[in-house]
Amino acid sequence: MGIWIRSQDKKSLLLCESFDVGCDNDNYNILVNYELRNIEKHYSPMGYYSSVKKAVLVLVMIQKHIETHSNNVFQMPRDIIIIDDDEEVA
């Protein structure tokens, strides 16, 4: 079982099994694990964020989406704004 994730640039739609925060030259990304037709597992970045805090917040958004089953596809948001250290923006 997985969740459909649409990439930030809207060029990919993948059935994803797991998620990680990655870092490439101070650019943080959400890496998704997916399976191709030949049953090979792959990781691909699906969204880029300016801080690890923002990337983790997007993971929280994905988790909430999974828990509520609000629809069948989660659209990766653009870089998000954090208003306060204790507040989230969804």
Is residue 81 a contact partner of residue 89, using CB atoms and an 8 Å limit? yes
pTM of the model: 0.74
User: What does DSSP assign to residue 39?
Assistant: S
Low-confidence ranges of the chain (pLDDT < 50): 88-90
Residue-wise pLDDT for 57-78, tens only, equals 999 988 888 888 767 787 888 8
Token digits of residue 62:
């994905």
Between CA 37 and CA 47, with CA 43 as vertex, the angle to 5 degrees is 120
Question: Is the C-alpha dihedral spanning 1, 76, 9, 26 positive or negative?
Answer: negative
CA separation for the pair 28, 55 (Å, rounded): 6
Cα–Cα dist 69/43, whole Å: 23
